[in-house]
Amino acid sequence: MVRSSSRDAPVVAATGLTRRFGEKVAVDGLDLVVGRGEVLALLGHNGAGKTTTIRILAGVLTPTAGSARVFGLSPFADGPAVRSRLGVLPENHALEERLTARQNLRYYADVYGYPRERVDGRIAEMLTRFGLTDAADRKVGGFSKGMKQRLALARALQHEPELLFLDEPTSGLDPVASREVTASLREQSAGEGRTVVLCTHDLGLAQAVCDRVAVMRSGAVVAIGTPAELAGRLPGRLIVEVGLGEGKRALESVRAAFPDAAVELAPVGDELTIDHLPAGSAPRVVALLVGSELSVYRVEPVRATLQDVYFSIYGEGG
C-alpha cells in the first residue's frame, strides 16, 4: 500500500545537480521536480547522464555539487529511510543467478524488512503478476533476458514502494512482454498512485505511459513537459489533398506564399505534405488554394510525436 503524505511536497527534487567522474561531467547542473503519482521519463542519447541521475537520486552515488531530495530527505545521508520507500530496477538487473526466482524475491523481502507473515503471499502475487509462477523454483542463471527483466521488476515492486526508479524497463523484452510492462507501469501510477521515474530509449513507452518527459543532453534537462506540450512547440505538418491534376500548381502556390515551409508533392495522387508551417496557418493555406481556384478535398493537420520532439533536439544524425 502506498503511504499518503503531503500531496504538494515533491517526491523528487534536484537543484543544480552535478556529478563529475574525473574530467567528465556526467550530470551538469540538473534541475528536476517530480510530483506524487507522476510518471516521468528521462530521455536522451547514450551518455546523456540519465543513469547517473537515477543513481544519485537512489543514493548509490553522491553528487559533486547541487542538491538532491527524495521524500524531502537526502538519498545518501538518509539512505535507509529513503530506500525502504523506494524500488529500483537498475541498468543491469543485478539478480543473484545461483538462486531461484522465489529465493531472489525472498532475499530482497528480508533486506527490505517486508512483514514475515505476508511475505509468501506477496512473492506468489508478484510471480503471478510477472508471469513467472512456472519458473519460480528454477535458478535465475538459466532464465532468458526477458524473464530476468520481469523478475527484476517484481523485485523492485514487491515491498510496495512509493517511488520507483526504472532504468530501461523494457530493455531485452519481446514485444508482448514489453506491452505487458507498459500496461503494468500505467497501473502503477493510475491504479496505485505510485511515483515512477524511468530512463528509456523507448519513445513509444514514454509516449504511452508518461505524464511528463524530460529530455537530457550533456547532463542537463533541455526540454521538459507533457508529450503533447513538447510536441505542440514544434511547427506543424499539414497534409492537403487537391483536385485531380492540380497538385503541381498547388505546390507552387504554397511554396511562393510560405517560403520557409518545406512542401512536397506525393509521387502518386495530388497530395501535398507541408512541414515547418507557422502554427495556425492551416486556414491561410486553404484560403490561398481556394483563392487560386484549386479544389481542396482534404486538410489534415498531423500532430508531432515524441519522436519528432526528440529528433528536433538531437537532429536526425544525433
Residues forming contacts to ligand ATP in the complex (CB under 6 A) are 21, 24, 26, 44, 46-52, 199
Kindly tell me which of 148 and 159 has the beta carbon lying closer to ligand ATP: 148
Write the Ramachandran bin of 297: left for phi over 0, alpha for psi from -120 to 50, otherwise beta. alpha
C-alpha cell at 93: 538487473
CB 21, min distance to ligand ATP, A: 3
Do 11 and 165 meet the contact criterion of CB atoms below 8 Å apart? no
CB of 130 to ligand ATP, least distance (A): 23
Whole-number minimum distance, CB 104 to ligand ATP, in Å?
24
Q: State in angstroms the smallest separation of the CB of 55 from ligand ATP.
A: 7
The number of C-alpha atoms within 13 Å of 72 and in the hemisphere containing its C-beta is 6
Cα distance between residue 211 and residue 118, in whole Å: 32
Pick 48 or 109: Cβ nearer ligand ATP = 48
| Dihedral sign from CA coordinates of 227, 228, 229, 233 | positive
Least distance to ligand ATP, CB of residue 145, Å: 16
In this complex, which beta carbon is closest to ligand ATP, that of residue 26 or of residue 156?
Answer: 26
Neighbours of 2 (CB within 10 A): 16
Q: Compare residues 48 and 205 and give the one whose CB is closer to ligand ATP.
A: 48
107 versus 311: smaller Cβ distance to ligand ATP? 311
Helix (H, G, I), strand (E, B) or coil at 13: strand
